Every structure is written in structure tokens, then in C-alpha cells.
Structure 1
Amino acid sequence: MKALRFHAAKDLRVETIADLPAPGPGQVAVKNKFVGICGTDLHEYVAGPIFVPTEPHPFTGAKLPQVLGHEFSGEVTAVGEGVTHLKVGDRVSIQPLVMPRSGDYYADRGLFHLSEDLALVGLSWMSGGMAEGAIVNDYNAVKIPDSMSYEEGALVEPTAVAVYALERGGVTAGDSVLVTGAGPIGMLCMLAAKAYGATKVFLSDVNETRLALAREILPGVITLNPMKDDVVARIRAETEGSVGCDKVIEASGNEAALNTGLQAVRKQGVIVQVGLHTKDSKLHWHDVTFKDVDVRGAWAYPTHYWPKVVDLIASGALPALKVVTKKIALDEAVTEGFDALLSPSGDHVKILIDLDR
């Protein structure tokens, strides 16, 4: 079958690999339909291997070369022994976290996403979404309703990241929320903030193209460019008592954005760091103390979020499909996908690969 595999930084190859084996006990085979290119995939392409193991992963045994793609949907084509909740023909969204199901401190407490042995389909597993098919554990495949498209099914994973970040921040009805970073996670956080009842949503980024797209995606969002606008002053002017916003979701992994968020949030507000910082970043800890704020991380998502996120998208409450700016074929993935997303123009936010093309 055809697959896109990561071999090294700047070395992605669309190549023919062995067809899928029969699924083992507790596993299913999936015909992949759509897969998103994630920021993590881009980091691997530019500077990897980062998450892709060069030696066998301690839990899964996976190593280079790796089929990429952890945001994907598909149709079940075979089920292994012991699988009871899925059948051939089921339409599924893939929850890509792979880990021990018991005997692990975090797994025993239902916190599977925090396992020390965590692996991900498409980064440290035998299969990935950027191929014609995949083998996954039965707990990785979650049925989606007929009302949900396969494109939307591929967006459940990044939307789950955004929803978890909002819930880590305790965003609720009537809140004012600043999202820093207008990449796909930032855009989804913006939509999630609205879905969770935020009445005032701010989005900051240095890319005017993406800010313009954000205004199309969510009419009423207040977009700010820190290269042109005094972000803190604007937010204070737009919030009750001029005290600043209630919550900040930092989705860029940028030190300046994090510190801007600290200045923009009100006293006893909450800052959630969901964007991955690629190097050490300084934070003005005096202001953290003086303002009595909470600073929280948001890593991935609890695996039990999948049905809830599916419902948010399928119901229209969180229209994730709006962030998709392009659909391409697998053969075009490198030039029209990875390279396009790395362009400084910022013309594209989320690109989906259509495995049927």
C-alpha cells in the first residue's frame, strides 16, 4: 500500500510499503479516509526526529521509518479476536494515544494521556494516518455518526486538544478569553471558547492573513496584531472595569505571547499553555505572584473526551471544518501540504489529505 513515511528531517517519502497484516487480538484494521497535517508533524519534518523514536519505543517497539499522521478517520475493514464494540463497515475517528491500560500509575487512575509509556499512532506506532490503511487498537477507534463527515472525523483529534485547553482554563459562559496564536489549535480554541459560552473572544497573531481568516471563521472575534496593536491596552479597554480578560489560552509556544497573556489577564485569572515551546522561555514570575494568577499546562486530552468532542462537532456547536483551507492527495503531501504550511505567508491553517484521491 502507499504511505508517507518520515525517515529524517526534510526526508519524507511517499513509498509503497507492505499491505496491512490481519489485526491481532484487540485490534482493528482501518481503511483511512482523511488525515490532517499537524504542527507536530511539521516539527518532525523540519527538525526531527523529536517524538519519532530512533530506537524501538519501550512500549510499542516502533522506530524509524515511521508512517506519519495522528489526526485521521476511516472505515473498519477487519476486526481482531475479542473486539466486540466495532464491526466491519463502521465509520470511525482515531483517538491516537497508545499506552498501558493497567499496571501504570496514571492508567490505573484513568489518566491514560499522562502515562510514562505513552505512544501515538502516527508517531511511535506500527501505523499512521498518512497511508491507505492502518492497524490500531480497538480503544483507538471511536465510531462517528452518519451525520459526521470523514473530514470532520479527522478533526476530532486537534479539536480535543482545544477543548481540553478550554476546560483546563475553566472557560465558562460570560468569560472573556484571549487566544494567542492563530494556527489550527489557536483557531480551534477560538471556536471552542465561543462554544463554551465566552462572550468576548480575542485572538492575537502577527500574521494578518490568518487574522483575516479568523474574522471569517468567527464573526465578532477581536483580532490583534502585536506588531501593530497594543494588545494589553486593547483588551483592558474591552473588558469590564478595564481589568483584563478572564482567561488566556496560549497556543503559539512563543515566549513573547506568553508574557503578553500574563499582562492581559486580570488578577486571579487563568493562563493555559497548550502550544509547545521548543526552547526554554522566561515568564515574569513576579507578576504571576502579584496578580495571583494560575498558570496551567494542557497536554493532549483525556481519552474519554472523544464522544464529547464528536458531539460538539457533529451538532454544529463547534464547526471545526471551518479551519480547513485545503484538501490534497497523498502524492502531493510534501510540496502542497508540509511545505505550504511552512510558508511564512500563512495562507493555510489546516490541510487535510484525502486518501481516496
Structure 2
Amino acid sequence: MKALRFHAAKDLRVEEIDAPAAPGPGQVAVKNRYVGICGTDLHEYAHGPIFIPTEPHPYTGVSGVQILGHEFGGTVTAVGEGVTNVKVGDRVAIQPLIGPRTGEYFGERGWLNLSPVLGLVGLSWNWGGMAEASVLNDYNVYKIPETLSDEEAALVEPTAVTVYACDRAGVKAGDSVLITGAGPIGILALLTARAFGATKLFVSDMNETRLKLAQEIVPGVIAVNPMKDDLVKVVQANTQDNLGCDIAIECVGNDKALQSCLDAVRKQGTIVATGVHPGVGKLNFFDVTFKDVTVKGSWCYPAHSWPRVMDLIASGAIPSKKVVTKKITLDDAVAEGFEALLDPAGTQLKILIDLEA
């Protein structure tokens, strides 16, 4: 079968490999349908290996050449002994977190994202979404609602990221929310905050094309290019008593964007860092104390969130499909997918690879 595999930074290859063997006990075989290119995949391509292990992973045992892709769905083609949650023919969405579910504090509570031996499909597992088929653990595979499309199945994972971020932030009806970063996660965070009841939305980015896309996808959002306008003044001018926003969610992984969140949020507001920051960052902790704010991290999502997130998408509450700007074939994935998303012009948001095209 055909698969896109990571060998080294700037070395992705579409290769013919053996199809996976029949699923073992507790495993499920899936014919992959659509897979999204995530920011994590881009970082691996540009600078990796980062999350891809160079030594055997402590839980999965995987290392080296890796089939990428953790935002995907497909159709069940076979199930192993003991599998009861799905059957052959079911359309499914993949929850990619892998870890012990017994004998470990976080795993027993469904918080695989916090496991000290966390593994991920498409990064530290034998199979990933950027291939024609995969074999997964039964707990990684969720049957999707009839009203959820195949494309939307591939968007459950990034939407789960923003649902968890808004949960961590405590977004509620009537809140004002700033999102820094108008990429796919940033715009999904806007859609999620609106679904949670936020009534005043702001987004900041230096890319004018993405700001325009944010305004098209989320009508009424106040878009700010901090290189042209004073973000703090814009937020204050559009919030009660010029206090600043209630909540700020950082979706870039950039120190300046995180500091902007602190600058723009009101006293006793909440800041959530969703972007992954490389190395030791800087934040003005005098203002953290002086403004009496709450600063939280948000890493992935709880493994048990898939049914809720699928319902939010299927119901139309979070129209995740709006962030998709392009569909491509697996053969074109490097040039028209990875390279296009790394283009500083940033004309694309979410690119899906159609594995049947």
C-alpha cells in the first residue's frame, strides 16, 4: 500500500509498503479516508525528529521511520478478538493518544494526554493516517454519528484541542475572548468559543490573508494585525469599561503572542497557552501578579472527549469543516500540503489529504 513516511527533517517520502497484518486482540483495522496535516506534522517535517522517537518509545516500542498523520478517520475493515466498540463497516474517527489505561494514575481516569509514557498514532506508533490503512487499539477508534461526514471525522482531533482549551479557560455565555493566532487551531478556537457562548471575539495575527479568512469563517470577529494596530487598545475599546477581554487563548507557540494575551486580558482574567513553546519562554510575571490573572496550560485533550466533540461538530454547534481550504492527494502531499502550509504567505488553513483520490 501507499504511505507518506518521515525519514528526517525535509525528508518525507511517498512509498509502497506492506499493508498491515490482521488486527490482534483488542485491535482494529481501518481503511483510512481523510487525514489532516497538523502543525505538529509541519514541525516534524521542518525541524524533526521532535516527538518522533529516535530510541524505542517507552510504551509503544516504536522508533525511526514513521508514517505521519494523527487527524484522521476511515472505515473499519476488520476487528481483533475482544473488540466490541466497533464492527466491520463502521465509519470511525481516530483518537490518537496511546498509553496505559490501568495501573497508571492518569490513564485510569482517561487522561492519557498527561501520561508520562504518552504515545501518539502518527508520531510514535507503527501506523498513521497518511497511509491507505492502519491498525489501531480499540480505544483509539470511535464510531461516528451518521450525520458526521468523512471529512469532519478527520477534524474531530483538532477540534478536541480547542474544546479542551475552552474548557480550561472556562469560556461561558457572554464572555469576551481573544485568540492569538489565526491558523486552523486559532479559528477552530474562535468557533468553539462562540459555541460555548462567547459574544465578543477577537483574533490577532500578522497574516492579513488569515485574518480575512477568520472574518469570513467567524462573522463578527474583530481581527487585529498587531503590526499595524495596537491590539491592547482595540480589545479595551471593545470591552466593558475598557477593561480588556475576560479570556485570552494563545494558539501560536510564540512568546510575544502569549505576552499579548497577558497585556490584553482584564484583571482577574484567564490566559490559556495552547501553542507548544520551544524552550524556556518569557512572560511578565509582575503583570501576572499585579493583574491577579490565572495562567493555564492546555495539552491535547482527555481521551474520553471524542463522543462530545463529535456531537458538537455533527450538530453544527462547531462547524469545523469551514477551516478546510484545500484537499489534495497523497502523492501531492509534500509539495501541495506541507510546503504550502509552511509558505510565509499563508494562503491555506487546513489541508486534508484524500486517501481515495
Hey, what's the Cα distance between the residues in 2 that align with 1:303 and 1:109?
A: 9
> What is the letter of the counterpart of residue 229 of structure 1?
D
Deviations 1:191-224 (A, max 9, x none): 1011100000000000000000111101100000
The CA deviation at 1:177 is 0.1
Deviations 1:244-292 (A, max 9, x none): 0000000011111111110110010000000111232200000000000
The CA deviation at 1:108 is 2.7
Hey, what's the Cα distance between the residues in 2 that align with 1:200 and 1:89?
A: 43
Hey, what's the Cα distance between the residues in 1 that align with 2:320 and 2:109?
A: 30
Partner of 1:190: 190
> What is the letter of the counterpart of residue 125 of structure 1?
W
Hey, what's the Cα distance between the residues in 2 that align with 1:10 and 1:218?
A: 34
> What is the letter of the counterpart of residue 122 of structure 1?
G
Hey, what's the Cα distance between the residues in 2 that align with 1:278 and 1:223?
A: 26
Gaps of 5+ in 2: none
The CA deviation at 1:105 is 2.2
Q: Greater shift after overlay, 272-281 or 33-42?
A: 272-281
Q: What SS is found at the alignment partner of 1:165?
A: helix
Partner of 1:125: 125
> What is the letter of the counterpart of residue 303 of structure 1?
A
Hey, what's the Cα distance between the residues in 2 that align with 1:16 and 1:2?
A: 5
2:208 is equivalent to residue 208 of structure 1: yes
Hey, what's the Cα distance between the residues in 1 that align with 2:44 and 2:135?
A: 22
Deviations 1:164-205 (A, max 9, x none): 000000000000000000111101001101110000000000
> What is the letter of the counterpart of residue 19 of structure 1?
A
Deviations 1:11-54 (A, max 9, x none): 00000111110000000000000000000000000000000011
User: TM-score, with normalisation over the residues of structure 1?
Assistant: 0.99
The CA deviation at 1:110 is 3.1
Partner of 2:157: 157
Hey, what's the Cα distance between the residues in 1 that align with 2:325 and 2:333?
A: 14
The CA deviation at 1:77 is 0.1
Q: What SS is found at the alignment partner of 1:331?
A: coil
2:106 is equivalent to residue 101 of structure 1: no
> What is the letter of the counterpart of residue 194 of structure 1?
R
Hey, what's the Cα distance between the residues in 2 that align with 1:108 and 1:94?
A: 20
Q: What SS is found at the alignment partner of 2:77?
A: strand
Partner of 1:327: 327
> What is the letter of the counterpart of residue 311 of structure 1?
D
2:52 is equivalent to residue 32 of structure 1: no
Hey, what's the Cα distance between the residues in 2 that align with 1:85 and 1:204?
A: 42
Hey, what's the Cα distance between the residues in 2 that align with 1:289 and 1:57?
A: 39
User: TM-score, with normalisation over the residues of structure 2?
Assistant: 0.99
Hey, what's the Cα distance between the residues in 2 that align with 1:107 and 1:139?
A: 12
Hey, what's the Cα distance between the residues in 2 that align with 1:170 and 1:146?
A: 30
Gaps of 5+ in 1: none
Q: Greater shift after overlay, 274-283 or 119-128?
A: 274-283
Hey, what's the Cα distance between the residues in 1 that align with 2:108 and 2:87?
A: 28
Aligned-residue CA RMSD (Å): 0.7
> What is the letter of the counterpart of residue 293 of structure 1?
V
